[in-house]
Structure 1
């Protein structure tokens, strides 16, 4: 049977076979099925993207380091992803305690996004730590990292800064590979960018030249390292972004944690930006009249103690001979706190308190264990050495533990200049 469209009159129409209505209904079912399948596929793809983003972000956050405790330095860091709809990138920072007691600072940015970029960042982070722990100069670290990216890693270019901060000398030595310069904050001065020599990113050329710059950082000065997500965005050239950052930084506090918070608040995530933002702030603390340390009863805690006490003594204007001799005496007291801790409290930390008053240094080591018995005390070389090096040694014992106090008067600059 032929059907004509209703109301068409004499107008011709194409013939339609019997049963076409049923077939038309079936087509609707098929179309609905296809639409449903497409929606399901879109949802599944979106779920996979979200899983990948979550995995990459978790990987990156877990790889960002815990900042160390270094005598004379304060730290703070922040990391903010580029946006809720984007994958995380390869931004990272690191702070590495070097064998010399100085601090290695790393901030870098890997090209790319997602799990692959985060995994690559972890690879590079491990490599730069290995080179830094050899106590190599910043330019040499970058040269080796460039070779690593070209030959061993081959994943595209990387921007990187490596700096060495010496809290005893109040200096920072650094080299940069295509990364924006750190912003330097000094007390009662406007923030300024560190002067660095332009150089290519890692992985661009086989024989790059990386030059070092050295600057003096006065006590309470802060160096702010950051990735380019803070200063670049769609339609925003790097130069304008740097100017924006400097202006936004004026009048901000120098304390690292407050500074990072203020910077991220004033330079908000730029509209349309797909790049992450990482910040690391390092401040040189002014020397105080006292030093307080809580140390674990493990042998490696003595290394941390020596760095902290040496820095504090130098800030107190002790000579290198005085620093060395007081470190030996202090080391003996701390070594006994580690070796002779009470078994029931073997995991309990011990305390070190140092005070400078009227040119006299007094260092007290307190623990919850028992020090040497009186017979061992008379024959112990450690106690004899402390008494030889210090003006006074006092050992107090009680039910709560043992306290050792050593004292020595500093000769002072004038006395040292008059000595033959």
Structure 2
């Protein structure tokens, strides 16, 4: 019987070579992952609007913050656009998942909402038709969403939500709350889903804020506490610049652990009576200008 073979001695050079190989492989994997994250983030930011619509008496602002959970990226979005007839549409939502596919699906949802909103009667119909549209797409993803329609003629907001975080509101005289309106299931889950509509006359000046769960929920931070904190922020900033208020709301995400990406959409509005007086003054100024421009004789 042959004697057992002595174990091969590993030299310092061998160990250094193996360590160098493992380091190179780890670096290559990290670079590939980082490239994927940067692609998803760039795709996501390119799909967000460059600006939001405003009208006299209504000022808007939004903020988006990506959050890396490992090397992942989410599918939150916000949007705002003008509808036929002069109303404004606003959406904010969150796609399931944290990858390039979620970012791409987010773009489909956002554009789909724009497309159906142009001919839908109210936000509930917008979400219902968008839901049916997404169900026709071959994907396992779904999205939560809130949709607002601002009517400058009646100075009111109509809203509906699909499994999404409640909105937060406040008026400049100190009233505030969390809008626990009835809603429907997330988009892309159930055919024929119905989404109730809530109508809010804007009788007082104030702010209405949409947000995603990344703002108010973290690994050890309950969503109820996050919403309460945002409500206090909105109450204090109801009369502030919308950009400043959006930034202040986004700061809540820093205290939650920010495990998800986060989006905030702020609408700061005058009271209906204030806007009516402004419109009357504008109309009077236009009439005076027309009279002054009439030829003499």
Please give the TM-score of this superposition, normalised by the length of structure 2. 0.86
**CA contact under 8 A between 1:181 and 1:195: conserved in structure 2?**
yes
Q: Is residue 2:242 matched to residue 1:316?
A: no
Give how far 1:25 is off: 4.7
Distance 2:48 2:225 in 1: 29
Sort the Cα spacing of 1:159 and 1:25 in 2 relative to 1 into closer, same or farther, 3 A.
closer
Separation in 1, partners of 2:252, 2:137: 40
Answering whether residue 282 of structure 2 is matched by residue 362 of structure 1, we say no
Aligned residue for 2:157, secondary structure, equals strand
Correspondence for 2:39 among 55, 61, 66: 55
Residues 186, 248 of structure 1: alpha-carbon distance in 2 compared, 3 angstrom cutoff: closer
Of 273, 279, 285, the match for 2:264: 279
**Does residue 261 of the first structure (1) align with residue 224 of the second (2)?**
no
Q: Pick one of 205, 223, 228 that aligns with 2:208.
A: 223
Q: In the alignment, is the contact (CA less than 8 A) between 2:203 and 2:273 conserved in 1?
A: no
Output aligned runs, 1:290-369, within 5 Å.
315-317=278-280, 356=284, 361-363=287-289
CA shift for structure 1 position 199: 1.9
Do the aligned residues in 2 keep the contact of 1:224 with 1:280 (CA within 8 Å)?
Answer: yes
Task: Give the deviation of 1:148 after TM superposition.
Answer: 1.9
Q: 1:168 aligns with which of 153, 158, 169?
A: 153
Q: Contact between 2:215 and 2:252, CA under 8 Å: does it hold in 1?
A: no
Q: Which moved more, 1:144-153 or 1:221-230?
A: 144-153
Change (3 A) 1:266 1:229: closer
Going from structure 1 to structure 2, the CA distance change for 1:95 and 1:243 (only over 3 Å counts) comes to: same
**Greater C-alpha radius of gyration:** 1
Distance 1:356 1:219 in 2: 24
Separation in 2 of the partners of 1:152 and 1:25? 57
Higher alpha-carbon deviation: 80-89 or 170-179: 80-89
Residues 192 and 25 (structure 1), Cα distance of their counterparts in 2 relative to 1, 3 Å cut: closer
Q: CA deviation at 1:198?
A: 3.2
Tell me, yes or no, if the aligned pair for 1:184 and 1:224 is still in contact at 8 Å: yes
The runs of 5 or more residues in structure 2 that have no matched partner are: none
Within a 5 Å distance, the mapping from 1:57-136 to structure 2 comes to 57-65=41-49, 66-83=51-68, 85-136=70-121
Query: For residues 286 and 215 of structure 1, do their structure 2 counterparts lie closer, same or farther at Cα, with a shift above 3 Å needed?
Result: closer
RMSD of the TM alignment (CA)?
Answer: 2.8
Relative contact order, higher structure (CA 8 A, sep 6+): 2
Distance 1:33 1:244, change over 3 A: same
Is the contact between residue 170 and residue 238 of structure 2 (CA under 8 Å) also seen in structure 1? no
Could you tell me how far apart the structure 1 residues matched to 2:142 and 2:238 are? 35
Q: What's the offset of the Cα at 1:77?
A: 0.6
**How far off its partner does 1:284 sit?**
2.1
Distance 1:269 1:236, change over 3 A: closer
Q: d(CA) in 1 for partners of 2:69 and 2:220? A: 21
Q: 2: distance between equivalents of 1:32 and 1:137?
A: 67
- In 2, the alpha carbon distance for the partners of 1:114 and 1:216 equals 39
| Separation in structure 2 between the aligned mates of residue 197 and residue 129 of structure 1, nearest angstrom | 23
What does the per-residue CA deviation read over 1:339-361, in whole Å, with 9 as the maximum and x for residues that have no partner?
A: xxxxxxxxxxxxxxx6857xx84
